[in-house]
Structure 1
Amino acid sequence: MKPNALDDAPLSGFHKRLAIYAAGGPFLDGYILSGIGVALVALSPELGVSSFMEGMLGAGALIGMLFGGAISGFLTDRFGRQVMYTLDLGLISVFSVLQFFVTEAWMLLVLRILLGAVVAADYPMASSLLTEFTPRRYRGPLLSMLVCMFFVGAAASYFVGDALVSSGPNGWRWFLLSSAIPALILLVLRLGTPESPRWLLSRGRKSDAQAVLFKVYGSGVSVSDIVVEGSGTTRARDLLRGGYLGRMAFVVIFYTCSNIPVFAIYAFGPKILAALGLGEANANVGSAVLSLLFLVGVVAALCVINRSGRRRMVIWGSLIAGLALLLMGVFPEAPTWILVAAFSTFAIFNGGPQVLTWVYPNELFPTEVRGTAVGLITAFTRVGSAVGVFLVPLALDHLGIGPTMLLAAAVLLVGCLASIRWAPETGGLGLDQASSIAPGIIPADRPGADEQSTRIR
């Protein structure tokens, strides 16, 4: 094999299984996050939920992700990707079941925060593990596939939720409990997943890394074939200074701007569609269709990411999606077909920025701090997303649907401007190259360029 054995290995059944197991986390994220919008329709009258508490419940999982992402990323780099790879799924199952028994809105809010924390914990573990095993040719598409599963989970939550919530007085309780089922299935599937050999080498565990390589690739690969980014020199504190601070800033800005409209629409999709006059009775089904359109967008991005390049995709996707929301904001009472076309355009073209919210964080940081970086980015971006989701019902009540859509458009266009200025191109690079602070990766006049850290790691 070539010197960088993992980057240039052929795609195997192991890689495909690992991608499927890793995709379970985003599926649960989409299912759990989107489900609250469906459940609120029935639980709000029963529990006497105010607009303020609706916003808190919608943002609860995102608030939990703030804490879960920050802590779990560090633990992932300190103790390994595989250690808590299954434990978090058990916790998701427990918290999902407990939602069935709530009698007060504050009880549900606590559980939503806890659910968000454990869902966020899966991000750095699963994505780092997949990134560090996947060959460079397939890294972008497989990481993009994780985003696809978020939208599959979101669409599933609307279909399942619509059926369960309307089934009886406790329908919303059964629906919130239902996320325990895929979590338990995924827990069983993940048992026995090996630790990342890149991480093992970064911790000096050469013999353990060799054992994993032999198990996955056979006797033809040794630890000497692997280029380890950072060579043990990068620490968590480096993420908050120099070139890596610039990369953190860029990813957080574009990630937050891309996610705020998506999370807001998922948390309050039925309410937003009803406000646009697209049919309150069919709002849940309409939200599910919107999820499928998001899925079309990310699948399309997955198929072309290696050809289009990361930078071009994030810029044009943010721009066109923002303009679509701008159209809805300026003409909220436009004919239905125009609103549907605008919503479809937004959903499809935001697919590019969405897939890059998983690709960029995993490519731009070396093995020693990859989990920490992904965790911190997840935490930081959820602050903005949580604020955005919290403000949605208040904006709809006090400003109306038009200004609310204009604010969402402005957020996406800020992400576009940040990408024009700072987005790097990492397509086709090995992890050692993509995660290095080098002028060839991020131009010297952009965040990430550090004249004192230009060596290839």
Structure 2
Amino acid sequence: MSTVIDTAPYTRFHKRLALACSGGPLLDGYILSIVGVALIGMQPQLGLSTADVSLIGAAALVGMFVGGAVFGVLTDRIGREVMYTADLLVMIVCSVASFWADQVWLIVALRFVLGMAVAADYPIATSLLAEWLPTRHRGRLLGKQIVAWYAGSVLAYVVGYAFLQLGGEGSWRWMLASSALLCVVFLLIRRGSPESPLWLAQHGRQDQAVAVVRKHLGVKVTADQLLAGEPDSADERLTAGSVRVLFSPAYRTRTLFCGLFFLCQVGPLFAMLTFGPQILGSFGLPGGTVMDTLGTGLISMVFLLGCYPALRAIDGVGRRPTIVWSFALMIVPLALLGVWPSAPAAVALVALCAYAFLCGGPNVLDWTYPNELFPTHIRATAVGFATSVSRVGAAIGTYLLPLSLTDLGTGPTMLIAAGVTAIGLLVCAFWAEETKGRSLQAASGSPRREAVHSL
């Protein structure tokens, strides 16, 4: 059943909310990518070992694992709006503190907390956005959140390159601190963003839910109309933010699907973005402060460009065929580099760009699927859980990639990445559902939902 939100006209309010919610992904892309450039100067200045570099690269991802798991649950229990700006304040403090950090343990600790704050933003912002969007625009605007991620990543390499040119390798402190400025910008953009009317209605605040819809959408609605198609409110209050519900018979398969496809996608992806210069260097691209950094920036740009045809595909051919075919094709360039580790640098760059472009399908569905497949009372919990699981893969990949390049070589490393992607293909082939054109309540509905009520 559709609600007034599902059928509402698309307005400037939706555009502003989508921009405000894009802050988390953009900052994630920036914070995770800028460290790859900063390590160029950080490693010789601080005398970092390979293990130190791996720890610094993986620290934010481990923090995201913790943050996604904890703050997704809290978001379903205490609301989307409560923590909407607090996480940005934490990012500002950690970014500024990074300027003075000169010990490995302190840099690792600050990036761990940064990761927690970034991961907190995903369940807060994407669930809030999903619960305000009309059906026709939901897939596109949720998918565009990953565009913000790659925009942040590209910006990080541009800023990093500029710092290297102007300040040399010693400018790495300014690189790490620069994310504070972006946080301030999004703090200003987020001023006045409303709470989710669905969350308000489910938590006994029906008058506020009705008022906020009238204010921002300009239509009159009742609480019953807002909650049409949702589970009974009494059950929601009992199970809001419950990880147990995610693994109940009603949602177990969806939970595994969202977590595993996300993990298999970002494991190789994050490692490549974080240590792009090292990968390209292994194929003979001149190292230093220019060519390898610009080459990785180009790959990041292609990741971004690949999202646009995928955004059209998920609303055209559908979510399921888009993600299945994308994973299948992503294997090809990785396998090519795996069996041809002596490929010229130009061939390696083209292959990695092809992989980046083909990643568009799962990229735009990273937050679309978990927001569509789970109802309001566990939506943020599901997004947080999927984010946490994905960052396990990302952290492992980021930690192991430089060690693998050193100990195993380029070919085996690329074959391992291809194997992880192949697992993602199997997960999608068996479990991916089609949610195109369905209302949020219909997409998140489950024929086995009654099993949740017994918990």
TM bucket (normalised to shorter chain) is over 0.9
Shift of 1:188: 1.3
Q: Which residue number corresponds to residue 172 of structure 2?
A: 172
Compared with structure 1, are the counterparts of its residues 348 and 104 closer, same or farther at alpha carbon in structure 2 (3 Å cutoff)? same
Q: Tell me, in whole angstroms, the C-alpha distance in 2 between the residues paired with 1:208 and 1:187.
A: 24
Task: Please tell me whether the aligned partners of residues 213 and 222 of structure 1 are also in contact (alpha carbons under 8 angstroms).
Answer: no
Q: Which residue number corresponds to residue 58 of structure 1?
A: 57
After superposition, what is the alpha-carbon deviation per residue over 1:265-293, rounded to whole angstroms, capped at 9, x for unaligned?
A: 11101111111223324011111110110
Q: Which residue number corresponds to residue 124 of structure 2?
A: 125
Q: Which residue number corresponds to residue 213 of structure 1?
A: 213
Aligned residue for 2:366, secondary structure, equals helix
Instruction: Give, as a single letter, the amino acid of the residue that structure 1 aligns with 2:232.
Output: S
Instruction: Give, as a single letter, the amino acid of the residue that structure 2 aligns with 1:170.
Output: G
Q: TM-score, normalised by structure 1?
A: 0.94
Q: Tell me, in whole angstroms, the C-alpha distance in 2 between the residues paired with 1:228 and 1:241.
A: 20
Match for residue 332 of structure 1 among 341, 346, 349: 341
Whether 1:352 aligns to 2:353 is no
Alignment of 1:259-278 (within 5 A): 259-278=266-285
Instruction: Give, as a single letter, the amino acid of the residue that structure 2 aligns with 1:425.
Output: E
Q: Which residue number corresponds to residue 182 of structure 1?
A: 182
After superposition, what is the alpha-carbon deviation per residue over 1:24-43, rounded to whole angstroms, capped at 9, x for unaligned?
A: 11000000001111111110
Q: Tell me, in whole angstroms, the C-alpha distance in 1 between the residues paired with 2:449 and 2:221.
A: 35
Q: Which residue number corresponds to residue 447 of structure 1?
A: none
Which stretch has the larger CA shift, 296-305 or 397-406?
Answer: 296-305
After superposition, what is the alpha-carbon deviation per residue over 1:160-190, rounded to whole angstroms, capped at 9, x for unaligned?
A: 0111134145300001000000101101110
Shift of 1:231: 2.9
Task: Please tell me whether the aligned partners of residues 93 and 183 of structure 1 are also in contact (alpha carbons under 8 angstroms).
Answer: yes
RMSD of aligned alpha carbons: 1.6
Task: Please tell me whether the aligned partners of residues 437 and 453 of structure 1 are also in contact (alpha carbons under 8 angstroms).
Answer: no
Task: Please tell me whether the aligned partners of residues 150 and 304 of structure 2 are also in contact (alpha carbons under 8 angstroms).
Answer: yes
Shift of 1:103: 1.3
Shift of 1:8: 1.1
Shift of 1:63: 0.4
Q: Which residue number corresponds to residue 326 of structure 2?
A: 317
Q: Which residue number corresponds to residue 199 of structure 1?
A: 199
Alignment of 1:104-183 (within 5 A): 104-166=103-165, 167-168=167-168, 170-183=170-183
Q: Which residue number corresponds to residue 382 of structure 2?
A: 373
Aligned residue pairs: how many? 443
Q: Tell me, in whole angstroms, the C-alpha distance in 2 between the residues paired with 1:49 and 1:140.
A: 43
Aligned residue for 2:163, secondary structure, equals helix
Shift of 1:215: 0.6
Q: TM-score, normalised by structure 2?
A: 0.94
Match for residue 261 of structure 2 among 205, 230, 254: 254
Task: Please tell me whether the aligned partners of residues 328 and 425 of structure 2 are also in contact (alpha carbons under 8 angstroms).
Answer: yes
Q: Tell me, in whole angstroms, the C-alpha distance in 2 between the residues paired with 1:221 and 1:13.
A: 20
Q: Which residue number corresponds to residue 83 of structure 1?
A: 82
Whether 1:343 aligns to 2:358 is no
After superposition, what is the alpha-carbon deviation per residue over 1:349-401, rounded to whole angstroms, capped at 9, x for unaligned?
A: 11101111111111111001111111122112211221111000100110111
Instruction: Give, as a single letter, the amino acid of the residue that structure 1 aligns with 2:278.
Output: K
Shift of 1:225: 2.8
Whether 1:416 aligns to 2:425 is yes
Shift of 1:200: 0.5
Q: Tell me, in whole angstroms, the C-alpha distance in 1 between the residues paired with 2:103 and 2:349.
A: 37
Whether 1:363 aligns to 2:364 is no
Task: Please tell me whether the aligned partners of residues 250 and 452 of structure 2 are also in contact (alpha carbons under 8 angstroms).
Answer: no
Q: Tell me, in whole angstroms, the C-alpha distance in 2 between the residues paired with 1:425 and 1:204.
A: 32
Whether 1:385 aligns to 2:394 is yes
Aligned residue for 2:231, secondary structure, equals coil
Q: Which residue number corresponds to residue 445 of structure 1?
A: none
After superposition, what is the alpha-carbon deviation per residue over 1:76-119, rounded to whole angstroms, capped at 9, x for unaligned?
A: 11111011101111110110000000111111000010000000
Q: Tell me, in whole angstroms, the C-alpha distance in 1 between the residues paired with 2:63 and 2:45.
A: 24
Shift of 1:67: 1.0
Compared with structure 1, are the counterparts of its residues 188 and 69 closer, same or farther at alpha carbon in structure 2 (3 Å cutoff)? same
Task: Please tell me whether the aligned partners of residues 259 and 389 of structure 2 are also in contact (alpha carbons under 8 angstroms).
Answer: yes
Task: Please tell me whether the aligned partners of residues 229 and 431 of structure 1 are also in contact (alpha carbons under 8 angstroms).
Answer: no
Aligned residue for 1:191, secondary structure, equals coil
Q: Which residue number corresponds to residue 46 of structure 1?
A: 45
* Runs of at least 5 residues in structure 1 that lack an aligned partner in the other structure: 439-449
Instruction: Give, as a single letter, the amino acid of the residue that structure 2 aligns with 1:289.
Output: L
Aligned residue for 1:230, secondary structure, equals coil
Task: Please tell me whether the aligned partners of residues 24 and 122 of structure 2 are also in contact (alpha carbons under 8 angstroms).
Answer: yes
Which stretch has the larger CA shift, 172-181 or 371-380?
Answer: 371-380
Shift of 1:410: 0.7
Q: Which residue number corresponds to residue 446 of structure 1?
A: none
After superposition, what is the alpha-carbon deviation per residue over 1:172-213, rounded to whole angstroms, capped at 9, x for unaligned?
A: 000100000010110111011110001111112110101101
Q: Which residue number corresponds to residue 94 of structure 1?
A: 93
Match for residue 241 of structure 1 among 248, 262, 279: 248
Aligned residue for 2:367, secondary structure, equals helix
Shift of 1:337: 4.1
Q: Tell me, in whole angstroms, the C-alpha distance in 2 between the residues paired with 1:73 and 1:160.
A: 31
Instruction: Give, as a single letter, the amino acid of the residue that structure 2 aligns with 1:269.
Output: G
Q: Tell me, in whole angstroms, the C-alpha distance in 2 between the residues paired with 1:223 and 1:451.
A: 22
Task: Please tell me whether the aligned partners of residues 198 and 228 of structure 1 are also in contact (alpha carbons under 8 angstroms).
Answer: no
Instruction: Give, as a single letter, the amino acid of the residue that structure 2 aligns with 1:174.
Output: W
Task: Please tell me whether the aligned partners of residues 318 and 416 of structure 1 are also in contact (alpha carbons under 8 angstroms).
Answer: yes
